[in-house]
A and B are shown apart, each in its own frame.
Chain A
Amino acid sequence: MDDVHADVRTRYEKLTEPYMDCTFKFEVVEYQGAKKAKKEQIRIIDSFKYLGLRGKIRLSNPAQVFTVLQSYSIEADLCPRSEPDYCWFGRQVGLSARSHGIVDRYEIAKRPYFGTTTFESELSLVTCNLALVKEGQLVYDPFVGTGSFALAAGHFGGYTFGSDIDFLALKGGRPGQKDIKRLKDNFKHYGTQTKFGDVLCMDFTNSALRKDLIVDTIVCDPPYGIREGLRVCGTTNLESAKLTENKLIDGEKAFLRREYVQPKKPCTLDFMLDDLLRFSAERLPVGGRLCFWMPAADDEDIPRLIPQHEKLELIYVLEQSFYRWSRRLLVYVKRDGSYTGKTVTKEERAHENNFRERYFNRFI
């Protein structure tokens, strides 16, 4: 706190000038701190007396709110430290969507359509926030599934498109459900239907999006191979591939018929991620962001599993941990020609991110 005061004292006069006579109140907001007694809060607030604000104090609806923010870390005994690690002082200019109840409103169970892969509400919103999704942008989720990211992007004003290899996830409905709902119904439910572009059934590694289409933002949770398949179009059985190519039904090529079901074969997470980076580097405008979640077992050399592309700068790596594994939200920004990063594809990475195998072997 002493540092905060020392800093505020050197420059508050210019900053407080327009607010000297406004009604105001003070707030102390903590992250991970123990709840403070009223007396302690007042002590902190009083320590700013030297600002000399002349306005009336008003607790409800003041013209200005001055806030002391404190961030605490947790000790080994799981109690917060007695002194904060960081303090800030400032004037409130706006609050995040969180303070308007957005996390609760987007809770999965409140949506008309969801499934086993639906990404949780809070982190979907955080992902789109870090992706800087805003009005007028074209946002794309190449592994859209039940569309958690698309819905969150729509909330922030992005015009959203999604694709997935699983036709049934796009078509919607749940087992036993009579009135079939799909992603579009979720947009309607939240009043954002004008932000719903379309969903396409396609294999990301055989994309149908034209090459020169600019996509402002890409957000996704690539398949891990646990609750959903990690698959691409094709077959490992070359014999049967030859057969389908030439198979006729009613004198018509079987693979050109409406009912034909395209076979799928397994692929690796590394392969998919390399393709995701290459695709993003091609389609994002300079400054556009790619945000996705990468899972990994905790005992892996994780930094060396992270894919890189020479045109994409990795700016944040944010971890969410589980038992023996974790996933990281990776945020990349497309840079212009003057930026020279290093492409690190699966061939150059230390070893394979065989998350699926590790998961099913309980990470032993």
Chain B
Amino acid sequence: MKFLTTNFVKCAVKSCDASEKSFPLKYEECQLQSEEQEFNPAFIVSMLDRIDWDALVSVAADLGNRSIPAEKPENIEQNEALLRELHSLLLETQIVEGKMMCQNCGHIYYIKDSIPNFLLPPHLAN
């Protein structure tokens, strides 16, 4: 699972939809791997429109990375150093194993073999 994907997923339990605490999930006991990918600044810039910056900062902190600025900087397009850092974080960082916890309902999801599993037990599904 790429770091980027953590910015797209919330708790799957329907009754958590309304709660702001269900996104982002809290990442724990994660095993990371770096997988090299060609640097494409235009792609990172285009993805930024879809990215929730606060969530990005908070998940980065879960994984021990505190170097991302708390506020989304202006003119990122011209900031190559930051674009490279985002590239390495969003696209090259793979979470191979780990836990994701919903901070609203406390449910725990697992990442196994690089694949996050959001299937729900019967009492939480509908």
Residue in contact with B50 in the complex, picked from A138, A211, A256, CB distance below 8 Å:
A138
Q: Roughly how many angstroms separate A213 CA and B55 CA in the complex, as a whole number?
A: 13
B2 at the interface (CB under 8 A from A): yes
A20-28, A125-133, A191-199, A331-339 - interface stretch? A191-199
> What B residues does A170 contact at CB under 8 A?
115
Number of A-B contacts (CB under 8 A): 110
> What B residues does A240 contact at CB under 8 A?
122
Main secondary structure of the interface of A (DSSP, over half): mixed
Contact in complex: A201, B9 (CB < 8 Å):
no
Contact in complex: A210, B4 (CB < 8 Å):
no
Contact in complex: A214, B50 (CB < 8 Å):
yes
Contact in complex: B38, A194 (CB < 8 Å):
yes
Q: A230-241 CB contact bits vs B (8 Å, 1 = yes)?
A: 001111000011
In the complex, residue of chain B having the shortest beta-carbon distance to the beta carbon of A242: B123
Interface hits, B5-51 → A, CB 8 Å? 5, 8-14, 17, 23, 37-38, 40, 43, 46, 50
Contact in complex: B120, A211 (CB < 8 Å):
no
A312 at the interface (CB under 8 A from B): no
Contact in complex: B122, A210 (CB < 8 Å):
no
Contact in complex: B121, A210 (CB < 8 Å):
no
Contact in complex: B123, A209 (CB < 8 Å):
no
> What B residues does A213 contact at CB under 8 A?
8, 50
Instruction: Name the distance in Å between B37's Cβ and chain A's nearest Cβ.
Output: 6
> What A residues does B110 contact at CB under 8 A?
258
Range for the number of chain B residues in contact with chain A: 35 or more
Residue in contact with A201 in the complex, picked from B11, B52, B117, B125, CB distance below 8 Å:
B117
> What A residues does B13 contact at CB under 8 A?
206
> What A residues does B4 contact at CB under 8 A?
197-198
B66 at the interface (CB under 8 A from A): no
B126 at the interface (CB under 8 A from A): yes
Q: Roughly how many angstroms separate A160 CA and B99 CA in the complex, as a whole number?
A: 24
Q: B111-122 CB contact bits vs A (8 Å, 1 = yes)?
A: 011011111111
Q: A183-224 CB contact bits vs B (8 Å, 1 = yes)?
A: 000000000011001111111001111110110000000000
B108 at the interface (CB under 8 A from A): yes
Q: Roughly how many angstroms separate A126 CA and B37 CA in the complex, as a whole number?
A: 29
Range for the number of chain A residues in contact with chain B: 35 or more
A245 at the interface (CB under 8 A from B): yes
Interface hits, A49-107 → B, CB 8 Å? none
Q: Roughly how many angstroms separate A198 CA and B50 CA in the complex, as a whole number?
A: 16
> What B residues does A167 contact at CB under 8 A?
112, 115, 117, 119
Using A197-B5, A255-B121, A263-B122 as known contacts, say yes or no to A211 and B12 having CB atoms under 8 A apart: no
Interface hits, B45-80 → A, CB 8 Å? 46, 50, 52
A171 at the interface (CB under 8 A from B): yes
Residue in contact with B121 in the complex, picked from A198, A202, A260, CB distance below 8 Å:
A260
> What B residues does A203 contact at CB under 8 A?
12, 118-120, 125
A244 at the interface (CB under 8 A from B): yes
Q: Roughly how many angstroms separate A138 CA and B5 CA in the complex, as a whole number?
A: 12
Interface hits, A256-270 → B, CB 8 Å? 256, 258, 260, 262-263
Q: Roughly how many angstroms separate A254 CA and B17 CA in the complex, as a whole number?
A: 24
Q: Roughly how many angstroms separate A170 CA and B113 CA in the complex, as a whole number?
A: 10
Contact in complex: A136, B46 (CB < 8 Å):
yes
In the complex, residue of chain B having the shortest beta-carbon distance to the beta carbon of A258: B110
Instruction: Name the distance in Å between A274's Cβ and chain B's nearest Cβ.
Output: 15
Among A136, A199, A211, A262, the most chain B Cβ lie within 10 Å of the Cβ of A262
In the complex, residue of chain B having the shortest beta-carbon distance to the beta carbon of A196: B2
Q: Roughly how many angstroms separate A203 CA and B107 CA in the complex, as a whole number?
A: 16
B1 at the interface (CB under 8 A from A): yes
Q: A160-181 CB contact bits vs B (8 Å, 1 = yes)?
A: 0100010100110000000000
> What A residues does B14 contact at CB under 8 A?
206
20 chain-A/chain-B pairs, Cβ below 8 angstroms: A159-B43, A161-B8, A167-B119, A197-B2, A197-B5, A198-B2, A200-B115, A201-B116, A201-B117, A206-B120, A208-B9, A210-B9, A210-B10, A210-B52, A214-B50, A233-B119, A234-B125, A244-B123, A245-B123, A262-B121
> Nearest 9 A-B pairs (CB), nearest first?
A202-B118, A233-B125, A255-B121, A241-B122, A262-B119, A208-B118, A208-B12, A245-B123, A201-B117
